[in-house]
A and B are shown apart, each in its own frame.
Chain A
Amino acid sequence: MTADERQARLAAFMTERFGVEADPWPDGGPIVPVEQHVALAAALQAELGYTLYVYCVASHWPDETPKGGDLIPEHYEVATGLRSVGAGSHVAMWRVSVPVGAGVPTLADLFAGADWQEREQYDLVGVVFDDHPDLRRLMLPEEWVGHPLRKDYAIETGHLPWR
């Protein structure tokens, strides 16, 4: 199976099983409803062999009104990547979008590797992962206030008595 065929199989799988618009394939992967996040990951793991958890990247999007468009309210976007292992390895990626204050269901029950990745995203961006086994800060000191990779966090914020 060539890389293009694997990609086509993935897109067809997502469209048929989860009704996701995946043609043409968007940059960063298609946007999946947050209720199907865990089901999609489980199906990819069990049926298509995407067994390796590669990445989880969250980003914060403040209120924004594009030119001539409607207001896009503040939200988080969480991108997830899974890889199949062995010959013909391929990455499956998708995104979920949640409003600020709502949680994203955790994948730590399916993939042990998701544990720390989700903790990191919680620490830096502030996305809450529902039912995560141990959602503590990973990189910053535990007493830290705020989530520095949010767009409303001033980069030069001080922290007495150190800076």
Chain B
Amino acid sequence: MAVDDPGRSYSHPLFDTLERFPGLDLATTTADKLLNWGARNSLWIFPMATSCCGIEFMASAASRVDFDRMGSFTRATPRQADVMVVAGTITVKMAPRVKRLWDQMPEPKWCVAMGSCAISGDFYRDIYSVIPGIDTVIPVDVYVPGCPPNPEALMAGLLVLQEKIALKTAGLKTVPAGRPETAKMISPRIKRVGHPDRMPEIDAAQCAQAMSLDLTEPPDLLAAFTAAQAAAKAAREAAEAAAADAAAADEKGGEA
């Protein structure tokens, strides 16, 4: 799993060492700067294009916007790519394949969710076969909203990603990619990767199904998930009731 804390989306051996031994950064900072300068200026893209966003992606690679000039070009294999651009609606049948391809990409790696389907499922999100946002399956670094986003928007997204990598080099903790406003209104049943409330059983089941491609719904997972949902609902209601009580008490206190 690439995510070990919500603030970062990739592991980097050099950084891990630096964080463990303060002072060592003086010796390695130059080499690391160089490595990251190289990494952010040669973001090779694996296009996970499943629908119309893929067309805009192709336009971004063509002469008008042309992300080749900043070192990004497409590789049709996950093994030689740094960035996965998820461009399009991902279905239940496709999601394990996407996860499997993501897991095959070498570290460090980043993910760009391109377009509203990849961000939240958009108006297909309630349909039985559609994933309500690819961040419930793999960690996302940059969200590029639009339906579909135009090539300039994707270019801006890639520049934001470069900036993010540069911040990391400067030793600054990067801000986790916030979901866009529209996506915040939608709370998928399954929490996004890295969310504190995400059940570890979901991660395990997704990994297992990505390996086996057997999409049978695990019955014990369903029971655990239902119980967790009920507990979360009860906790939310208790908190709301407590808040209402406190408000009522305040009002009374005010009157007295």
Point out residues on A near B: beta carbons under 8 Å: 139-141, 143-145, 148, 153-163
Contact = CB atoms under 8 A, between A and B. Distances in A.
A145 B128 CA distance: 11
B129 A148 contact: yes
A-side interface mostly: loop
Contact of A160 (B93, B214, B225): B225
Interface string B193-222: 000000001100110010000111110011
Contact of A156 (B126, B136, B217): B126
Counting chain B residues whose Cβ lies within 8 A of the other chain, the interface size class is: 20 to 34
B129 A140 contact: yes
Nearest to B206: A161
Given A161-B205, A161-B206, A155 B95 contact: no
Nearest to A145: B217
Interface in B106-165: 126-132, 136-137
A143 B92 CA distance: 12
27 contacts: A140-B129, A143-B217, A145-B217, A148-B128, A154-B128, A155-B126, A155-B127, A156-B126, A156-B127, A158-B128, A159-B92, A159-B128, A159-B215, A160-B218, A160-B221, A160-B225, A161-B202, A161-B209, A162-B92, A162-B131, A162-B190, A163-B92, A163-B130, A163-B131, A163-B132, A163-B188, A163-B190
B128 A157 contact: yes
